[in-house]
Structure 1
Amino acid sequence: MWSANPFLQKLYEETVQTHVVDRNRNKEHIKECLIEALGDFTSLEGELQPRIIEKVEYDSYERMRLEVQTCLSLRMPVYMLVPKMRSASPVPAVLAIHGHGYGSKEVVGLHPGGLPNLGVPGIHKNFAIELVKRGVVVVAPELIGFGERKVAATESATDNSCFELASQLLLYRKTLAGLRVYECRRILDYLNELPNINHKKIGCMGFSGGGLIAAFTSAIDERIKATVISGYANTFKDSIIARRHCLDNYLPGILQNAELPDLIGLIAPRSLCIEAGIHDHLFPFHGVQKAVHKLEKIYNSQDAIHAFTYDVFEGGHEVSGSKSFNWLVDSLAV
């Protein structure tokens, strides 16, 4: 009887009820609230100063690794996969955002040390390679806190620095999600400087924690035309609140203005595909169903239901790609 559960349940119910009562909660208002909750990093912006580190040739594509300056005193390593079937005109590009694990190497078919992974792909399914093979340029940034961008050396390659970064950033009224979104938007700035990229045909795909970044980056940056969110779409109530999650999932005060499907719905009327495993233990299926239902309503309200789709597959917390890979490339071809 002394448990905090009833208090937290009541707090959630009363807070979410205000979403119905407040008639001023239009799209622009929710977008402004999301931007405020993420935190502002624009004052730290510097020149991009891109620099190529390495180039590796494969049968059907070239893999480059480069670094760009996203903030003053902060540089980001990025893999760029370029198909060898070059077009005379600029080609579409996709921002491929990894989730928790050992960083961007995990989506481009490499082991943590940089050697090729010739075995069975992990839960990311090498999705950057799958996309470049379909003829688009793919850019895979290394999110801060993972891989080679951890705060300090750790014993395991899959360890991360999310808690150290997120907890400190909160002291500055900033969030780790906000920093990651900001850095991904700087990569979009870089893509807009490249003459071989069709700047009107830029897509985004993110998995798990990368799905969070894909969702929020796409929500606030309309340069992204089509988005795949894999292993993340849900409700705060059924996923983030229901179990212990990484601190990078939490945005101060966001529930006072929107549930998670409302935030993802900011992408409308642009193209959106939700991918989810029925047996995902981190983002459970009943929460996925609620999110999809709300997103269908949002897209219907904007006469854009044709731009929304989803793929529920027999699997767990992992990328599928059975529908999403071709859907994303086809959406950018239009």
Structure 2
Amino acid sequence: MSIIGKYGPWATSLRPALGKLSFRNQAWNDIRTWKEQALAKVKELVASPDIGTTPAVRTEKKYVFDGLDIEELSWQLPYGNRTRAAVLKPVNSKGRLPGILALHDHGGKKYFGVDKITRTAAQQHPLIADHQQSDYEGRAWANDIAKLGYVVLVHDTFTFGSRRVRYDDVEGLPTVPHQVFSDEEDPHVDSQYILAYNQWAAEHEHIMSKSLFSSGTTWPGVFLAEDQAALSVLAERDDVDPEKLGCGGLSGGGLRTVYLAGMDSRIKCAVCAGFMSTWDDFILHKSYTHTWMTYTPLLPNYLEFPEILGLRVPLPTLVLNNNQDELYTLSEMKKADRILQDVYAKAGVPDHFESAYYEGPHKLDIQMQQKAFDWFGRWLRV
């Protein structure tokens, strides 16, 4: 049985056992030829919107906190509100450092973005403190990796934080009088208002997705465009070595890593945490646990889900999983793992891919963070 009943076996049969552009297919022997064609097709299907060149960056504030030089930045994309971002690096660091684009999660918490994985003041909003405790074992992981000698950039992405959909800007939907919440930028907004906003934003997600499909783009495509813009901001800084760039994140940040690291070769080292499985898992078991931000229509005809990330082969990739992750089926996570192992083995670089499994539910705890930090150190600090 499946989440779509007796239609499950039929739905899984619609996809080829081996995608047309899978590198595991015997038809592909030359990695360069395969990658050229595979990337072209994926770019076509993802349909990322053209948002122009690197945006003009405005520095809003500079200060020192937690042993880090912190810059609060913003930039304006061709649509929506200004993007808020933070750059963190060790105090008194010199020269060009490796750069990390730290990708915040989804977590059903769209009111926040950057703040989910950073700490830039002694006082945190209680909802952020709770989130970091449950998902990151109490850590702001972007701070912790910056302290190891990286320039770390974290930005609000499409529909999160500064980029969220403002309720007051929405027209044409039925009103829900009992849902009252604030669209203020005050970081001390009462938790009940933020929780109400997050509930409304979750219910609005299918509307946004349908609108994006109707516009000829996809949610992964918009994420990709905005994350690439942020990557350009990071790469063009005077204190960053543009040849030593990495990215990573948990959950929605892991999803964004799949697409960004898979499709942008500037990412020399990637860590995907808490977002790896197969299309069959989404078809039969777990699509209801996932955001509309996951899906690119027709792409399953060409690549298995892990093979999107595998487009980056031979560049190094680490995938971190939890054995009791409620968002996936363990057997399908293991299958995705084997697929990526096969891709890297066929490319002749099996040691450029690693995966690890940890006890517990969906999270990126301290042990997993340390594994990620070691992976970045191995490939970016040489």
TM-score (norm 1): 0.89
Distance apart, 1:30 and its partner CA: 2.7
Q: 2:312 aligns with which of 235, 244, 267?
A: 267
Structure with the bigger RCO (C-alpha within 8 Å, sep 6+) is 2
Cα RMSD (Å): 2.7
Q: 2:372 aligns with which of 308, 324, 331?
A: 324
* Cα pair distance change 1:326/1:4, threshold 3 Å: closer
* Cα pair distance change 1:164/1:151, threshold 3 Å: farther
Q: State how far apart, in whole Å, the 1-side matches of 2:326 and 2:347 are.
A: 32
Letter in 2 for 1:27: K
Alpha-carbon contact 1:162-1:176 (below 8 Å) kept: no
Q: State how far apart, in whole Å, the 1-side matches of 2:16 and 2:251 are.
A: 24
Distance apart, 1:240 and its partner CA: 6.1
Equivalence for 2:48: 40
Letter in 2 for 1:36: E
Equivalence for 1:304: 349
Aligned length: 330
Q: 1:142 aligns with which of 138, 141, 156?
A: 156
Q: State how far apart, in whole Å, the 1-side matches of 2:116 and 2:53 are.
A: 28
Letter in 1 for 2:258: A
Alpha-carbon contact 2:4-2:284 (below 8 Å) kept: no
Equivalence for 2:135: 123
Letter in 2 for 1:10: W
Q: State how far apart, in whole Å, the 2-side matches of 1:45 and 1:241 are.
A: 39
Q: Answer with 89-98 or 232-241: which moved more.
A: 232-241
Alpha-carbon contact 1:240-1:249 (below 8 Å) kept: no
Equivalence for 2:37: 29
Q: Answer with 320-329 or 226-235: which moved more.
A: 320-329
Alpha-carbon contact 1:95-1:203 (below 8 Å) kept: yes
Q: 2:218 matched to 1:175?
A: yes
Where in structure 2 are the equivalents of 1:1-334 lying within 5 Å?
A: 5-17=5-17, 19=19, 26-42=34-50, 44-45=51-52, 48-72=55-79, 75-87=82-94, 89-100=95-106, 101=109, 102-109=112-119, 115=125, 121-124=133-136, 125-153=139-167, 154=181, 155-157=193-195, 158-159=198-199, 160=201, 162-239=205-282, 241-243=284-286, 244=288, 245-320=290-365, 321-334=369-382
SS at match of 1:312: strand
Structure 1 or 2, whichever has the larger Rg, is: 2
Alpha-carbon contact 2:285-2:329 (below 8 Å) kept: no
* Cα pair distance change 1:122/1:67, threshold 3 Å: farther
* Identical pairs, percent: 23
Distance apart, 1:233 and its partner CA: 1.2
The gaps in structure 1 that reach 5 residues or longer are none
Equivalence for 2:178: none
- The C-alpha deviation readout for 1:205-240, integer Å capped at 9, x for no partner, is 121111111111111110000000000011121146
Q: State how far apart, in whole Å, the 2-side matches of 1:131 and 1:282 are.
A: 26
Distance apart, 1:118 and its partner CA: 6.5
* Cα pair distance change 1:7/1:28, threshold 3 Å: farther
Q: State how far apart, in whole Å, the 2-side matches of 1:55 and 1:86 are.
A: 15
The gaps in structure 2 that reach 5 residues or longer are 29-33, 168-180, 182-192
TM-score (norm 2): 0.79
Distance apart, 1:19 and its partner CA: 2.4
- The C-alpha deviation readout for 1:155-176, integer Å capped at 9, x for no partner, is 4354445334322111111112
Q: State how far apart, in whole Å, the 2-side matches of 1:48 and 1:324 are.
A: 29
Letter in 1 for 2:135: I
